[in-house]
């Protein structure tokens, strides 16, 4: 039995910065309204024709691989988390394998939205723990901007999301006191339709239905979110899954050196920070700059925190996420 360690981290965000004031020019909203509800000041949107979910993932992966010291030829497997694949099928995992020039290794796509990176990390961790693989590339990447209702009708959702990608290389660790100590995953599908994109979907409205109806008022292919309901569930599930991870490893809240929560809403992160009585130095948030990048949010924030020296060898790092599905999870890591 082995542990898996994070050997390298990288992230990429598009150069195109979209501020709240920029959005107020096309949507009936304003900076104060957005910041009060979400804490977001700006986000990144791709420029069409320049970036895709896959290309951003590849850019983040190249940085992570270089920092890991692992040669691309030694990557054994790819796990790619996203809700915004370039194509309905195939998923972006195989496109990364192609674009990075990797060997004909396996590529797995994870569709768990906001908790996608935690799920992907957990899958990769199990493969390494059992000895099946030695080095696994894990990516979270999202393009939201091209799929949002950028009108006043969609402002409750569209002001929240941004584009970006983060990546990690997981490698075998023989010291069982280090690396990923445990991961914890949950779902509650009875609330799936509280945060959803209904179409296109083969169980409901497929592309042929949308084209046939040609209905300008059809909102089924835009994201829908019951914001208050999601918020109330998020703060409960975040707390539960963080405590679950700590208890599984006989740790106390005081042992947390860094908490990286999914960047869903700054108010959720602040609620959790206050509930656990953590200082600003123990929690890393960057939603102010990037918005909610779903599966990319944790690896982007984790990379930034590491780059800034906020995560050091020997630190206990907690990752936690909650989102569409409803799915949620946590990972406890000894750096």
C-beta neighbour count of 104 within 10 angstroms: 7
- Identify whether 277 is a catalytic site residue: no
Q: Which residues of 36-75 are buried (b: 16+ CB within 10 A; e: fewer)?
A: ebbbbbbbbbbeeeebbbbbbbbbbbbbbbebbebeeeeb
C-beta neighbour count of 247 within 10 angstroms: 12
**Catalytic residue (one of 262, 265, 285, 286):** 262
E strands, the chain, where? 3-12, 17-19, 42-44, 77-81, 106-110, 135-142, 164-173, 179-187, 195-196, 224-225, 258-261, 316-323, 327-334
- Identify whether 45 is a catalytic site residue: no
Helix (H, G, I), strand (E, B) or coil at 304: helix
- Identify whether 292 is a catalytic site residue: yes
Give yes or no for a cis peptide into 10 (omega within 30° of 0): no
**Catalytic residue (one of 20, 45, 112, 114):** 114
Closest CA to 237 of 119, 333, 323: 323
The catalytic residues are 114, 262, 292
């Amino acid at each position: 039995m082995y542990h898996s360690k994070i050997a390298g981290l990288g992230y990429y965000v598009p150069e195109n910065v979209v501020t709240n004031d920029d959005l107020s020019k096309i949507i009936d909203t304003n900076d104060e309204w957005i910041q009060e509800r979400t804490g977001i000041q700006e986000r990144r949107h791709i420029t069409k024709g320049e970036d895709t979910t896959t290309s951003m993932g590849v850019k983040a992966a190249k940085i992570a691989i270089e920092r890991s010291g692992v040669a691309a030829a030694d990557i054994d497997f790819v796990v790619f988390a996203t809700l915004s694949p370039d194509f309905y099928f195939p998923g972006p995992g195989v496109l990364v394998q192609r674009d990075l020039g990797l060997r004909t290794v396996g590529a797995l796509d994870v569709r768990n939205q906001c908790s996608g990176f935690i799920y992907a990390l957990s899958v990769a961790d199990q493969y390494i723990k059992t000895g099946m693989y030695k080095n696994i590339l894990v990516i979270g990447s999202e393009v939201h901007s091209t799929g949002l209702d950028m009108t006043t009708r969609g402002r409750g959702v569209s002001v929240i999301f941004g584009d970006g990608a983060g990546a990690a290389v997981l490698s075998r660790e023989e010291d069982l006191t280090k690396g990923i100590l445990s991961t914890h995953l949950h779902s509650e599908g009875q609330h799936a339709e509280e945060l959803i994109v209904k179409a296109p979907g083969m169980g409901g409205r497929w592309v042929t239905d949308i084209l046939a109806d040609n209905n300008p008022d059809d909102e089924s292919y835009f994201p829908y979110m019951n914001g208050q309901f999601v918020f109330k569930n998020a703060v409960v599930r975040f707390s539960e899954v963080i405590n679950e991870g700590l208890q599984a490893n006989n740790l106390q809240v005081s042992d947390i050196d860094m908490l990286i929560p999914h960047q869903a809403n700054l108010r959720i992160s602040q609620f959790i920070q206050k509930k656990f009585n953590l200082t600003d130095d123990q929690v890393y948030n960057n939603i102010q700059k990037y918005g909610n990048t779903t599966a990319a949010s944790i690896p982007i924030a984790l990379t930034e925190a590491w780059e800034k020296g906020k995560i050091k060898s020997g630190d206990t790092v907690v990752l936690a996420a909650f989102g569409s599905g409803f799915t949620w999870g946590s990972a406890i890591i000894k750096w």
